[in-house]
Amino acid sequence: MKYYLIVYLGFIVFKAEAQSSASSVADSLYLLGNYTAAINTYAALGDENSNLQIARAYNAIGNKEKSILQYQNILSKNDENILAKFELGKLYDKTKKYEEAIKLFQELVIPESTNPEFYYYLGKSYQSNLDYDSGNSALKKAIELDSTHLRSIYLLGKYYVGVEEPANAMEIIDLGLETAPNDVALINLKALANFDAGYYEKAAPLFERLVELGEKKPFVYKKLGYSYANRWKYEEAKKAYRKLGEMVNYEADAYQGLGQVYLLEKKLDSAETYFLKSIDERRYIFDNEYRSLGRIARLKGELKKSLDYYTKAWEEDKVNQFNYWQVCILADEYYTDPKIKLKHYEKLLSDFDNVYPFLKERAKKRITELKEEIHFNSE
């Protein structure tokens, strides 16, 4: 009996050592990125940890469906496996199964209420599911637990920027910048919050900072140029737009920006030149350029030229009532025949749905005046 016991114990030790060896091999395969071989090796082991690694390996090779099924299988056997629940929740969020993700993260924040990461993912899933009140509440809880949780700070700040609440946005973004003063994502958010609120003097240095940090991207130069132009720093604006023009496919935007700067400087010939260059570079509609050229021609007293440009602007964007309103006004000034003038105002009311009330009122008044003029001229 003693002999059999020794043999049995020896078998157990041998089996444990073999499993440990197989587990080490599987782990090594997984760490080296040989995921399919790792899955096959883990499958032979069959314990909970190996099953968890299989779920991770399927996720790593992009087979989200099998990964989800593997996680679900683990949780069906052990609903208390917090790690499996957390990883499955993140996978649900990544695959846009937001309600399933929310359910799991809600379960996690009850027993683990001091973990900010759980609240972050709960908030993220809520936001993705368009429940911003619940999402923001969860994100605030994550920040309350850890004031340096930058991803929660970023998501909450991004929400405030999106709904144009600059004061709330600045407060939460500045909290993040205390921890990470060179965080590009947060600096970008702060720059956008100031820009959207019209605080161009504050926005410009932030866009400059982004450039210093290597974010030499078109939208940065475009907004930097606009910010400087709106603070009468025309030379700085030109420099930003010229940098924009060095980027492939942004020459037209750069020329348009330069045209706007020269227009603000009342350098009409230069402004006209750059707007025309912008039109030459465009691969899509350019009603903004035609509208700007129309304004320049009007400032020069060239009514017919201005009328032609505004007509082209309207032809490029036929839902823009303001472009056609300018056509009406210029036609009214340029033509002497009241019938031609009348035709334009009547077209405004007939061709556009839901004409803005103040435009409709002014157009109707002018139509009445022109009809009276036509009537008196015919007598």
Q: What span, in angstroms and rounded, lies between the C-alpha atoms of 223 and 240?
A: 9
> Average pLDDT, stretch 306-333?
88
pLDDT in tens, 114-125: 899 999 999 999
pLDDT in tens, 183-213: 999 999 999 999 989 999 999 999 999 999 9
Do 166 and 142 form a contact (C-beta atoms < 8 A)? no
Residues above pLDDT 70, as percent of the chain: 92
Q: What is the pLDDT of residue 22?
A: 65
Residues above pLDDT 90, as percent of the chain: 57
The whole model's pTM is what? 0.70
pLDDT in tens, 11-28: 444 444 545 676 787 787
60 Cβ contact partners less than 8 Å away, ≥ 6 residues apart: 33, 35
Q: What is the pLDDT of residue 13?
A: 40
**In which band, very low, low, confident or very high, does the pLDDT at 345 lie, cut at 50, 70 and 90?**
very high
Q: Work out whether the CA dihedral 288, 289, 292, 294 comes out positive or negative.
A: negative
Reduce the secondary structure of 158-213 to three states and give it as a string.
HHHHHCCCHHHHHHHHHHHHHHCCCCHHHHHHHHHHHHHCCCHHHHHHHHHHHHHC
At residue 146's C-alpha, the angle toward residues 144 and 148, to 5°, is 120
Q: What is the pLDDT of residue 297?
A: 84
- Confidence check: pLDDT of 222 > 60: yes
